[in-house]
Amino acid sequence: MSALLNTGDKVILPTPLWSPYFKFVQLPGGTPVQVDTSDDGFMLPPEKLEAAIERECKGVKAVVLNYPSNPTGREYSADQLEALAKVIAKHHLYAVTDEIYSELVYGVKHVSIAKFIPERTILISGLSKSHAMTGWRCGYVAGPAAIIKEMAKFHALSVMTVTDNVQAAGTEALNNGQADALASRDIYAKRRDLMVNGLEKLGFKMIKPQGAFYIFPEIPAKYGTDDVKFCEELAEKAKVGLTPGSAFGLGGAGHVRLSYAASTENLQTCLKRIGKFLAEN
């Protein structure tokens, strides 16, 4: 964002969205423009993107797309991305596309919007999710050469470089480990089904995730829309930690994020504790 934005530039953020993006935009002087997608199945329709651009009149520089999504697990199809790409190209915007979960998709094929507008796409990814290298902080970015050149300046002054052992592991993962994520994907798919089925039996409503390892259900109607209070009480009384949906922007209110990147045993315990909490409160 520091390499891309001038002070006052606006960035469209479809919400719910991984919350640090709001601050990433603000840090170099940009302005986040939230677009609530909760009525659109947590997907950004091209007409809604067009309306947001027109509403802001001028100054929109980019749109952030994170898919498969954190927190919703939603994934865009090739047709949806092509339609969004046409709007982005029409208005000469950049697509900052976070595809860190691209190897973890279930029953669908991941397509990058870079397929349609490579000259306008800044693609962010890494090995944290695909190869369980979260703590090693090994990521990468691809985009137009002029922007990458400016990004390299900021990077050199803040990170310097990835440590040698992590570079060696990353090289091995990319050269010889492309299939490694498939085994993890199958395990995650089973855990997803376990949690979706279990939560539905407890009365939660949700859209079944197509990727990543998160579920984003609505909190039960009897608790209103105060997702923060619901999470606080669940943590205190049931010892289950969920993230309030409102932390992910306007579109997340009244929901909670649950991660199923945990053992099957722990997930089963989680369901039992949530069920007991709902029965007693």
- Give, for 207, the enclosing helix (H) or strand (E): none
The two structure tokens encoding residue 117: 């507008």
Distance CA(156)–CA(252), nearest Å, equals 35
Distance of CA 42 to the CA centre of its chain: 11
188, 130 Cβ separation under 8 angstroms: no
Distance CA(152)–CA(260), nearest Å, equals 35
pLDDT tens-place string over residues 229-271: 999 999 999 999 999 999 999 999 999 999 999 999 999 999 9
Distance CA(267)–CA(272), nearest Å, equals 9
Query: What distances in angstroms separate CA 180 from CA 82, 109, 131, 188, 208, one per listed residue?
Result: 29, 17, 7, 13, 24
The pLDDT mean for the chain works out to 96
Instruction: Evaluate if residue 129 carries a pLDDT over 90.
Output: yes
Q: Are strands 94-98 and 121-126 parallel, antiparallel or unpaired?
A: parallel
Instruction: Evaluate if residue 74 carries a pLDDT over 90.
Output: yes
Same fold, 10-176 and 181-280: no
Residue 51: CB atoms within 10 Å = 12
Distance CA(270)–CA(218), nearest Å, equals 17
CA angle, 49 then 123 then 77, to 5°: 55
Give domain limits for the chain.
10-176, 181-280
pLDDT of residue 161: 83
pLDDT of residue 158: 87
pLDDT of residue 261: 95
pLDDT tens-place string over residues 175-208: 999 899 999 999 999 999 999 999 999 999 999 9
Residue 121: CB atoms within 10 Å = 21
Q: Which amino acid is at 161?
A: T
Beta bridge partners of 33: 12
Instruction: Evaluate if residue 17 carries a pLDDT over 90.
Output: yes
Residue 247: CB atoms within 10 Å = 17
Please give the average per-residue pLDDT across 106-131, as a whole number. 96
Distance CA(21)–CA(13), nearest Å, equals 8
Distance CA(171)–CA(270), nearest Å, equals 37
Q: Which among 23, 68, 24 is positioned nearest to 43, based on CA atoms? A: 68
Task: Tell me which residue has tokens 């050149």.
Answer: 149
Q: Which among 236, 239, 244 is positioned nearest to 270, based on CA atoms? A: 239
Q: What is the pTM of this model?
A: 0.93
Pick the CATH number of 181-280 from 2.60.40.10, 1.10.10.60, 3.90.180.10, 3.90.1150.10: 3.90.1150.10
Local structure of 219: helix, strand or coil: coil
Backbone angles phi, psi at 50, to 5 degrees: -60, -45
The two structure tokens encoding residue 47: 């007409």
pLDDT tens-place string over residues 133-191: 999 999 999 999 999 999 999 998 888 888 999 999 999 999 999 899 999 999 999 99
Distance of CA 265 to the CA centre of its chain: 26
Q: What is the CATH number of domain 10-176?
A: 3.40.640.10
Instruction: Evaluate if residue 35 carries a pLDDT over 90.
Output: yes
